[in-house]
Amino acid sequence: MRLKLEITGLVQGVGFRPFIYALAKELDLTGYVRNNRTGVRVEVEGGKEVLDTFLLRIEQDKPEISKIYSLQHSFLEEQGFETFVIRESIGQGAGRTLILPDIALCDKCASDISDPENRRFQYPFTNCTDCGPRFTIIEKTPYDRQNTSMKEFALCNDCQKEYDTPGNRRFHAQPNACQECGPHVSLHEINGTLICTGEEAIEKTVSQIQQGSVVAVKGMGGYHLLCDATKEETVAALRARKSREEKPLAVMFPDLNSARNETSINALEERALISVEKPIVIVQKSGSSILAEAVSPGNNTVGVFLPYTPLHHILLDKLKAPVVATSANITDDPIASDEQDAFTRLAAIADFILAHNREIVRRCDDSVVRIAAGRQMPVRRSRGFAPVPISLPFRLRKPVLALGPYMSSTITVALDDKAFLSQHIGDLDSPLALEFYEDTINDLLGLLDVTPEVVIADLHPGYYSTKFGEKKYGDVLLKVQHHFAHILSCMAENGLPEDAEVIGFAFDGTGYGLDKTIWGSEVLIASYRGFKRALHLRPYRLPGGEVAVKEPCRTALSLLYDTFGDKAKNIDFTSFSENEKLLLLEIMKKNINCPLTTSMGRLFDAVSSLTGLNHKISYHAQAAIALEQAAARSDDKGSYPFVISNKMIYQLPIIDRIANERENNVPPEVIARRFHNTISNMVVEAAEIIREETDISYVALSGGVFQNVILLEDTFRKLTERNFRPLIHQLVPPNDGGISLGQAVFSHFAQV
């Protein structure tokens, strides 16, 4: 089957177009390459494997004379190009200057800092026009040194000469710096007392990490906590101090080879690791890993990334070992980004602080991606990607501000045919997070110089984002239903035209429904203009409301009660005491604090508990992840029955069978696999029913549940086999991090 690979790049220099042309010709691909105002756009068509090769070869063979600041790509439906051509450039000259993302250290700067003869040997703030910080140092436009946090540092003669010489790699490199004139690092006790600076500080940091200390290291968009990833006690101590019991920690490896040794990485994962965005890539651990089990306990995956600043390069080069490199914060607070913050908030977590005197103007967490179905799926779109816009398939009439949801929030500012998603903000539930949220709104509007004429929020009356919108933008505020926004984000990033219709599957943990209950397994017949709720799971109770989110065993009991009535109390699947069970059954019967939901996420939680995998969680989606990991250990082809009738998907037969198989000691991984098979069957069957009625063949898969790679890949494959046209996320996350894009798009069709 032929596909189209669409690439939008922020690229400068004359060498890129001819390079793409030659490569496309060599691989016998059709399509075009074209320069536009902001960079380059490539669309090529061919078989998936050749397109993969094309993508990998761009990374491996890219011409030295052109500078790549960002390359977003997605695999889409074939369009039918017959030849490959270089198209006329459009919109040269005029147009908005884009603010670049932070760019990982380039090869040339990497060799500067490792060459003892070079004047930048071991200098941790080395950069050039090809690399270095941008988004996190710019205070206002235009992008000039005076408008960045580098304004504090006067260029020395040598640096000034580079800056002034056309043809020099550092000609007009705004953050240009050297040992003489630029920022420097300093090592501090946790109370702020200065220990030492410069090279000595780096040496001491390295030896402290080797001895098992946790050091907070100021990076590009915030502080990381660094510690030896091979030492069990050290990683366990970090977890205890960060109050992060089990959620996996990211690991930075010195180089690609050392990462390969500890994990099994495929070609697309490797490409992602070395791409200019340098995200954290979630990969499989290898059997005999030297990584401490505490890095991602009970998990067969681990988040891996490579050094992207000169400081990380220097540290990892000396350590020659993988380090845990996790955002410096306590649980869900925003990442610490200045010294005051670090010294107060990190006192109980870190042993030392490696600071520096270049101010971080705005926080930006590391991005996270995962390869699924041969596509790159963003899990968190932040450093390296923000604030690169997503191209919309149509032009907006009015500039819009989309306020995002509550969990894993981002906001979006969109105008013309561009949507600018903010960096990752996170859950809006601590005072620090709310402050960061409001700062980010003002900041992005300011940077883009936009006054929004429409503002759009989630329907949920309790979300901070909604309340903020009502208070601040009441007269121009629109609201959009959560799951519809998920589907809209998927439609928009897949470039669907204005009149398109899709069958949308929005599967997630929670979202406020039109009927004021908690939705989460929504099958929508949708266009950009509106939606019809076609199908959803049979509503069930969450005993204790929010508590049930933390305790999947409660949801399990609720579904058992729906299935078996009072006999549910005889089913032994968890450590509930007899009294607890009776109490929960009692509150369900009397309907006390038992909100109804159609959540698919909670169904995964419940099945995780029913199979004995996870009864209580310590981080978001933990039980569902445990279920996915168990399913990955089985290739059973079985599945469970369900019934679709009368706008409802009845899940009780599934619960019935699982309870039965548990009693007959069917292994958890087999049940987990069969459950996954069941849900992908459910999607296909529901899609068939709707296609029958409507003739729609586009199927959009969105919502956090589709971060589940087994579910996503199976569903995608089965839909393709049945001649559907499945749409999945490749530019924004399927989780709530992508919601603000969907909101922004909706504003175009539903004006105030």
Tokens in use for 307?
């050094």
Following DSSP, what letter does each residue of 631-668 receive, concatenated?
Answer: HTT---------EEETTEEE-HHHHHHHHHHHHTT--H
Sequence letter at residue 662: R
The span of 62-70, 177-185, 346-354, 419-427 binding Zn ion (CB under 5 A) equals 177-185
- Which one of Zn ion, Fe ion, none interacts with residue 659, CB within 5 to 8 A by kind? none
The residues facing 2 across adjacent strands are: 47
List the one residue out of 663, 211, 701, 350 whose CA is nearest residue 504.
Answer: 701
Instruction: Between 371 and 600, name the residue whose CB sits nearer to Fe ion.
Output: 600
Binding status of residue 736 toward Fe ion by CB under 5 A: yes
What b-and-e string marks burial along 54-75, b requiring 16 or more CB atoms within 10 Å of the CB?
A: bbeebbeebeeebbbbbbbbbb
Instruction: Between 128 and 276, name the residue whose CB sits nearer to Zn ion.
Output: 128
Site for Fe ion in 77-106 (CB under 5 A): none
Sketch the per residue contact string, 497 through 536, with Zn ion: x for CB under 5 A, - otherwise: ----------------------------------------
Backbone angles phi, psi at 5, to 5 degrees: -105, 120
Which residue in the set 58, 68, 106, 265 belongs to the binding site for Zn ion (CB under 5 A)? 106
Binding status of residue 455 toward Zn ion by CB under 5 A: no
Which residue in the set 178, 250, 403, 744 belongs to the binding site for Zn ion (CB under 5 A)? 178
Sequence letter at residue 353: I
The span of 26-34, 170-178, 347-355, 401-409 binding Zn ion (CB under 5 A) equals 170-178
Q: How far is it, in rounded angstroms, from Cα 308 to Cα 262?
A: 20
Instruction: Between 178 and 342, name the residue whose CB sits nearer to Zn ion.
Output: 178
The span of 103-111, 287-295, 347-355, 479-487 binding Zn ion (CB under 5 A) equals 103-111
Instruction: Between 303 and 513, name the residue whose CB sits nearer to Fe ion.
Output: 513
Work out how close the CB of 256 gets to Fe ion at its nearest, in angstroms, rounded to a whole number.
34
User: Does 405 sit behind a cis peptide bond, omega within 30 degrees of 0 on the bond before it?
Assistant: no
Instruction: Between 389 and 733, name the residue whose CB sits nearer to Fe ion.
Output: 733
Instruction: Between 157 and 665, name the residue whose CB sits nearer to Zn ion.
Output: 157
The residues facing 128 across adjacent strands are: 131
List the one residue out of 458, 454, 595 whose CA is nearest residue 514.
Answer: 458
Tokens in use for 17?
């177009």
Binding status of residue 365 toward Zn ion by CB under 5 A: no
Q: How many CB atoms lie within 10 A of CB 26?
A: 11
Q: Which residue is nearest to Fe ion (CB)?
A: 508
Sketch the per residue contact string, 45 through 84, with Zn ion: x for CB under 5 A, - otherwise: ----------------------------------------
Instruction: Between 127 and 639, name the residue whose CB sits nearer to Zn ion.
Output: 127
Q: How far is it, in rounded angstroms, from Cα 621 to Cα 614?
A: 11
List the one residue out of 484, 495, 496, 428 whose CA is nearest residue 456.
Answer: 484
Interhelix angle 552-564/600-610, nearest 10 degrees: 90
Q: Do you know the residue count of the chain?
A: 752
- Which one of Zn ion, Fe ion, none interacts with residue 109, CB within 5 to 8 A by kind? Zn ion
Tokens in use for 413?
């500012």
Instruction: Between 141 and 517, name the residue whose CB sits nearer to Fe ion.
Output: 517
User: Does 667 sit behind a cis peptide bond, omega within 30 degrees of 0 on the bond before it?
Assistant: no
- Which one of Zn ion, Fe ion, none interacts with residue 159, CB within 5 to 8 A by kind? Zn ion
- Which one of Zn ion, Fe ion, none interacts with residue 178, CB within 5 to 8 A by kind? Zn ion
Please check whether residue 254 is in contact with residue 248, taking contact to mean a CB–CB distance below 8 angstroms: no
Which residue in the set 43, 45, 52, 130 belongs to the binding site for Zn ion (CB under 5 A)? 130
List the one residue out of 675, 535, 682 whose CA is nearest residue 607.
Answer: 675
Binding status of residue 661 toward Fe ion by CB under 5 A: no
Please check whether residue 127 is in contact with residue 93, taking contact to mean a CB–CB distance below 8 angstroms: no
Instruction: Between 39 and 511, name the residue whose CB sits nearer to Fe ion.
Output: 511
Q: Cα separations (Å) of 23 from 89, 193, 388?
A: 19, 56, 25
The span of 364-372, 500-508, 568-576, 650-658 binding Fe ion (CB under 5 A) equals 500-508
Binding status of residue 52 toward Fe ion by CB under 5 A: no
Binding status of residue 415 toward Zn ion by CB under 5 A: no
Binding status of residue 427 toward Fe ion by CB under 5 A: no
The span of 178-186, 455-463, 507-515, 738-746 binding Zn ion (CB under 5 A) equals 178-186
Work out how close the CB of 508 gets to Fe ion at its nearest, in angstroms, rounded to a whole number.
4
Which residue in the set 339, 366, 508, 669 belongs to the binding site for Fe ion (CB under 5 A)? 508
Work out how close the CB of 184 gets to Fe ion at its nearest, in angstroms, rounded to a whole number.
44
3-state DSSP assignment of residue 177: coil
Q: Tokens 């997503």 correspond to what residue?
A: 390
Q: How far is it, in rounded angstroms, from Cα 341 to Cα 591?
A: 45
What b-and-e string marks burial along 134-169, b requiring 16 or more CB atoms within 10 Å of the CB?
A: bbbbbbeeebebebbbbeebebeeebeebbeeeeeb
Binding status of residue 342 toward Zn ion by CB under 5 A: no
DSSP symbol at 384: T
Binding status of residue 131 toward Zn ion by CB under 5 A: yes
The span of 35-43, 127-135, 140-148, 335-343 binding Zn ion (CB under 5 A) equals 127-135
Binding status of residue 339 toward Fe ion by CB under 5 A: no
Following DSSP, what letter does each residue of 104-172 receive, concatenated?
Answer: PPPHHHHHHHT-TTSTTTT-TT--BTTBB-STTTB-SSS--GGGBGGGGSPPPHHHHHHHH-TTSTTTT
Instruction: Work out the end-to-end distance of the chain between its first and last CA atoms, rounded to an integer number of angstroms.
Output: 43
For residue 449, the number of C-alpha atoms closer than 13 Å in the C-beta half-sphere is 8
The span of 361-369, 521-529, 663-671, 734-742 binding Fe ion (CB under 5 A) equals 734-742
Binding status of residue 180 toward Zn ion by CB under 5 A: yes
Instruction: Between 409 and 563, name the residue whose CB sits nearer to Fe ion.
Output: 409
Which residue in the set 7, 10, 24, 109 belongs to the binding site for Zn ion (CB under 5 A)? 109
- Which one of Zn ion, Fe ion, none interacts with residue 736, CB within 5 to 8 A by kind? Fe ion
Instruction: Between 112 and 458, name the residue whose CB sits nearer to Fe ion.
Output: 458
Q: Cα separations (Å) of 528 from 393, 497, 587?
A: 11, 9, 41
Binding status of residue 86 toward Zn ion by CB under 5 A: no
Instruction: Between 100 and 181, name the residue whose CB sits nearer to Zn ion.
Output: 181
- Which one of Zn ion, Fe ion, none interacts with residue 413, CB within 5 to 8 A by kind? none
Work out how close the CB of 486 gets to Fe ion at its nearest, in angstroms, rounded to a whole number.
6
Instruction: Between 343 and 463, name the residue whose CB sits nearer to Fe ion.
Output: 463
Instruction: Between 178 and 594, name the residue whose CB sits nearer to Zn ion.
Output: 178
Work out how close the CB of 163 gets to Zn ion at its nearest, in angstroms, rounded to a whole number.
9
Which residue in the set 181, 347, 450, 750 belongs to the binding site for Zn ion (CB under 5 A)? 181
Following DSSP, what letter does each residue of 327-368 receive, concatenated?
Answer: ESSSTTSPPP-SHHHHHHHTTTT-SEEEEESS--SS--PPPE
Which residue in the set 7, 99, 128, 413 belongs to the binding site for Zn ion (CB under 5 A)? 128
- Which one of Fe ion, Zn ion, none interacts with residue 508, CB within 5 to 8 A by kind? Fe ion
The span of 179-187, 217-225, 347-355, 497-505 binding Zn ion (CB under 5 A) equals 179-187
Work out how close the CB of 617 gets to Fe ion at its nearest, in angstroms, rounded to a whole number.
17
- Which one of Fe ion, Zn ion, none interacts with residue 549, CB within 5 to 8 A by kind? none
Please check whether residue 538 is in contact with residue 616, taking contact to mean a CB–CB distance below 8 angstroms: no
Binding interface with Fe ion (CB under 5 A): 508, 511, 736
Binding interface with Zn ion (CB under 5 A): 106, 109, 128, 130-131, 156, 159, 178, 180-181
